[in-house]
Structure 1
């Protein structure tokens, strides 16, 4: 990769209703990072390819891709003399579509390429998930498809599944942003036992519905663990989820929000869904995950 390379990484949606911090799915919307080794120093260029503005993205060592590259290179025992990065951001920032995880994953993949090594799935997951403390978005961006993520001790684990081919995700992205740290602060320290039991059952059902029986997705995406606690942070998104579900559409808040995810089999939302103020588009399920190619 001495001549430079390109990293392409998919967006992701997490939770999928009841699978809080456990379910993730890669989506066909991609950030691209072009990496060139130089004689010294760091240069970062950031271009808005649909991410809703990049004016607040740093272009120094604090850039998330750079931080992930540095951490990975240190882990692998290499240190490039200098780097020139060109980042083309298409994943909307702070909308619940895994933009931070995608940046970290692209940096991890770039670090492996700089070291001249194939991506090690287990180590890469530890590095990427370690930035946010949970592996749902990171695993989806790393491996594509549908992922189940969990942690044992200080190690992250994931299993990749292939979603049913009839599932056609639609996202409704509002203009306002949401911070994961803020929405996590709205969650209570404890929940009723009945709600925990409900989510355990629906999460199990969701695995079956997502992979084998999509007609069960409306029931399988019902959540009582986190979404209603976060509702004050994005009332319009909460209302849209309720409206879609009343019309029989399996809908949920994507990750920490405020984007709404609808797991359709048609690729469209019904008339009268009330999507004013949202950008609505169908995204394929990305089945490949992060990709690195020489330039």
Structure 2
């Protein structure tokens, strides 16, 4: 439920910090539905200043590349929330500490959108009460679909869907035996290009195949991780996109031949391996190092259970 109080200015000098996890979507068969939050984070430091406008200082990933003015995705998401609730955007200085690789299938755009929305939520505290339903609606409006923004917002394993009254999600807690390693290549991949390779329709038997595997995957992730290899089989999207990222496809095939649950992370080209114990991550890393001529950066990550957080630091003496 959203409640809007009388418009009041946000005190100059107010600061807040935001932390948003990376995400991996699809997880094989759960195309545009399943997502998982991972322990790799983009962080913001935000300060209200007297000068109008938004300036973003980008450090880490994207430094010197992404915009630093109001066209920055974080700034656009933040302004979108203020506009939605009829509030004037204060002058802001934002420092973005980015660790999530861009255009690699780890939800960097979703994380930026969620970071901006969470910053707006923190700044509007006491002026507008923004609940979880509104957070997901706002993020989905900007991202276009909820499969990445849901785990970024809420953490854990999420099932996301869009009903007649908007986007919805269900958060689940992954089994403690589930461990993840992501292999990140040097080359990027356009999500729009990846989506353009999808056919308008798929064979009936492939749809049935993916329904069964998606149901099995939820069970594997929350209860029976020993079933992850079978549960991550897919016929809806990975094979169609393989031509655009041949090395990703080859790596997945090799890892799966060795009994590891390897899939494309999001739209790619990173490769996600879901292990049923931590030793499988080390096995995967050894196999990639021994069998791939390309450079893949292995990221040993845990499942993030908290999702996005915001901490407000009011000006001393302010109400």
1:268 corresponds in structure 2 to: 282
Q: Which residue of 1 aligns with 2:7?
A: none
Other structure's SS at 1:263 match:
strand
For 1:72-151, what aligned pairs fall within 5 Å after superposition? 72-117=81-126, 119-151=130-162
In the TM superposition, residue 153 of structure 1 has moved relative to its aligned partner by: 2.8
Corresponding residue pairs, total: 292
Which of 248, 251, 259 is the matching residue for 1:240?
251
Q: Which has the larger radius of gyration?
A: 2
Aligned to 1:282: 300
Deviations 1:97-145 (A, max 9, x none): 0000000001111111111155410000000011122101100000000
Name the CA distance, whole Å, in 1 between partners of 2:164 and 2:231: 29
C-alpha distance in structure 2 between counterparts of 1:226 and 1:167, whole Å: 24
Alignment correspondent of 2:317: none
Greater shift in the superposed pair: 223-232 or 153-162: 153-162
- SS where residue 268 of structure 2 aligns? coil
Counterpart of 2:218?
207
2:56 matched residue in structure 1:
44
Q: Detail structure 1 runs of 4+ shifted over 6 Å in the superposition.
A: none
Structure 2 residue 174 is the aligned partner of structure 1 residue 163: yes
TM superposition shift of 1:75:
1.9
Of 229-238 and 115-124, deviating more is: 115-124
TM-score (norm 2): 0.89
1:76/1:115 contact within 8 Å kept: no
Gaps of 5+ in 2: 1-9, 314-319
CA contact (8 A) 2:255 2:287 kept: no
Per-residue CA distance 1:224-283 (angstroms, 9 max, x = gap): 000010001111111111111100000100000000000012232343333441001211
The question of 1:253 aligning with 2:264 is answered: yes
CA distance, structure 1, for counterparts of residue 130 and residue 36 of structure 2: 20
SS in 1 for 2:142: coil
Q: What CA distance in whole angstroms lies between the structure 1 residues aligned with 2:228 and 2:239?
A: 19
Helix, strand or coil for the counterpart of 1:61? coil
| 2:153–2:308 contact (8 Å) kept in structure 1 | yes
Q: Is the 8 A contact 1:80 1:114 kept in 2?
A: no
